[in-house]
Amino acid sequence: MAQIDLKLKERSYPIVVSKNNSSQLLRLLKKEVKKNKLFVFYDANFYALHERVLAKELAEKFQYYEIVLPSCEITKTEKELSKIYSYLLSENISRTDFILAVGGGVTTDLVGYAAATTLRGIKWGAVPTTLLGMVDASIGGKTGLNHKAGKNLIGAFWQPSFVFSNIRYLQTLPHRQIMAGFGEIVKYAGLIGNDMLTLAEKFINSNDLYNETMLHRLVILSSDYKAKIVKADERESGKRMLLNFGHTVGHAIEKSLGYGKLLHGEAVILGLSAAVNLSVISSNASSKTLSRYIKLIVVSMGYVPHKKLDGDAVLKAIKGDKKRIDSKQKFILLKRIGKPIITDSVTQTEVSESINQMLYLYKHGVNNV
Ligand SMILES: NC(=O)c1ccc[n+]([C@@H]2O[C@H](COP(=O)([O-])OP(=O)(O)OC[C@H]3O[C@@H](n4cnc5c(N)ncnc54)[C@H](O)[C@@H]3O)[C@@H](O)[C@H]2O)c1
């Protein structure tokens, strides 16, 4: 078991990463739930696979209410949010009660937002059950939902009281979802540097994407890095932008293909390829300096399902990215592995070239590195 403390003054909280010890979750909950009610929201797929153990334990110890939410991105909508509000209010939730979100990023985003907005804010805890949820979505207090105008356009910063990651839950996660979470880990490898890069290389070359010892270590290092970034810049006005490494092109790929064709983490792997290409093309780094990292990205790209991507459509989608601050698009590039920079001094031709190189590698694979 490892504990990382995300220090945000009165909003500080622990991120506990356990190999398989739900007593740690009970310990965290007992601090928050005494005579008050515990409302637990589960992702439906997780519930079907794990409910018997977890729900039974919680129901025995707390004044327990459970709700199962449909699995998938369309759950992050006003319609589902409204059902959550109706349920909580019909059960007379009070400000002192506690909400627990158990599931992937969809569940923690939506339930976290319901917690932020019901009765002007109720305390909540996150139990991420996907790799992407453990290394990214559950940490940092960004909660929200999608709108027909775009993804994640409605939301609030509402930090949880704790995050509890149980690596054993990942054993039931589909292979593709593991790789999507690994996309964010590849991102961290570029941002953090050697230790994370070495571990990520070992993991992807091990042919065992369910190795608990390695997953445990990867989740700890990722959580620790994200916690440090969030501590430095809770509201994403500076350093937290680094976490968008690979995401400018990644988001544009998701948008240009139509949401759902690739998983978010898969699109991030392709976006990371474009970002390192751009780092080299714009003369911020040499390909020799980044060679190990480029190899990791291209090996990971081998796991991304093949989709027909149009470079011009991706470029067009970048221009509509909501993270643009003004007319200039910001890019996160690398000077070397573990040394990211935020810059807007790249030309459209350079961006276009970086996308074309990525498309070539996506099509032709690892033999071309
Ligand atoms: N808040 C943030 O900072 C942040 C950061 C990154 C991503 N996100 C959001 O996270 C969402 C994606 O999260 P995700 O990738 O976890 O997707 P998800 O929540 O849709 O989960 C992926 C799939 O895995 C299933 N699942 C969950 N746990 C399981 C388990 N243990 N065993 C078997 N199946 C399981 C789910 O039912 C679902 O089908 C997106 O909506 C994205 O916008 C938020």
- Domain boundary pick from 118, 138, 172: 172
- Quick check: is 318 in a domain? yes
Per-residue pLDDT tens over the stretch 129-188? 999 999 999 999 999 999 988 889 999 999 999 999 999 999 999 999 999 999 999 999
The CATH number that applies at residue 100 is 3.40.50.1970
- Quick check: is 165 in a domain? yes
- Quick check: is 186 in a domain? no
Query: Are 128 and 138 spatial neighbours (Cβ–Cβ below 8 Å)?
Result: yes
DSSP structure class, residue 306: P
Whole-number percent of the chain with pLDDT over 70? 97
Per-residue pLDDT tens over the stretch 81-120? 999 999 999 999 999 999 999 999 999 999 999 999 999 9
Edge-to-edge order in the sheet of strand 13-18: 2-6, 13-18, 162-166, 123-128, 98-103, 37-43, 63-69
Cα–Cα distance for residue pair 219/198, rounded to 1 Å: 14
Cα–Cα distance for residue pair 285/334, rounded to 1 Å: 7
Q: Radius of gyration over alpha carbons of the chain, in Å?
A: 20
Residue with tokens 């919680």: 58
The reply to whether 166 and 212 lie within a common domain is: no
The reply to whether 138 and 76 lie within a common domain is: yes
The reply to whether 168 and 202 lie within a common domain is: no
The reply to whether 116 and 8 lie within a common domain is: yes
- Quick check: is 321 in a domain? yes
Q: Sorting pLDDT into bands at 50, 70 and 90, what band is 328?
A: confident
> Ligand 1 pocket: which residues have CB below 6 Å?
43, 45-46, 49, 71-73, 76, 103-107, 109, 129-130, 132-133, 136-137, 140, 142, 152, 169, 172-173, 177, 180, 264
Q: Sorting pLDDT into bands at 50, 70 and 90, what band is 326?
A: very low
The reply to whether 147 and 219 lie within a common domain is: no
Name which of 162, 149, 150, 70 is nearest 110 in CA terms.
70
- Quick check: is 346 in a domain? yes
Per-residue b or e along 247-272, where b marks 16 or more CB atoms closer than 10 Å to that residue's CB = bbbbbbbbbbbeeeebbbbbbbbbbb
Cα–Cα distance for residue pair 322/235, rounded to 1 Å: 15
The reply to whether 214 and 296 lie within a common domain is: yes
Cα–Cα distance for residue pair 264/250, rounded to 1 Å: 8
Average pLDDT along the chain: 95
The CATH number that applies at residue 302 is 1.20.1090.10
pLDDT at 367: 62
Residue nearest to atom 8 of ligand 1 (CA): 137
Per-residue pLDDT tens over the stretch 342-353? 999 999 999 999
The reply to whether 208 and 155 lie within a common domain is: no
The reply to whether 165 and 201 lie within a common domain is: no
Structural domain that includes position 59: 2-172
- Quick check: is 178 in a domain? no
The reply to whether 247 and 356 lie within a common domain is: yes
Mean pLDDT to the nearest integer, 272-286? 97
Indicate the pTM of the whole model. Answer: 0.96
How many structural domains are present in the chain?
2
The reply to whether 104 and 221 lie within a common domain is: no
Q: Given a cut of 60, is residue 323 above it in pLDDT? A: no
Residue with tokens 């590849």: 186
SS (H, E, C) 203-241: HHHCCCCCCHHHHHHHHHHHHHHHHHHHHHCCCCCCHHH
Q: Best substitution site from 109, 245, 255 to test ligand 1's pocket, by max atoms within 8 Å of Cβ?
A: 109
Cα–Cα distance for residue pair 304/246, rounded to 1 Å: 15
The reply to whether 361 and 229 lie within a common domain is: yes
Q: Sorting pLDDT into bands at 50, 70 and 90, what band is 35?
A: very high
CA of 303 to the centre of ligand 1 (A): 18
- Quick check: is 326 in a domain? yes
Q: Best substitution site from 43, 110, 154, 269 to test ligand 1's pocket, by max atoms within 8 Å of Cβ?
A: 43
- Quick check: is 177 in a domain? no
CA of 138 to the centre of ligand 1 (A): 10
The reply to whether 128 and 213 lie within a common domain is: no
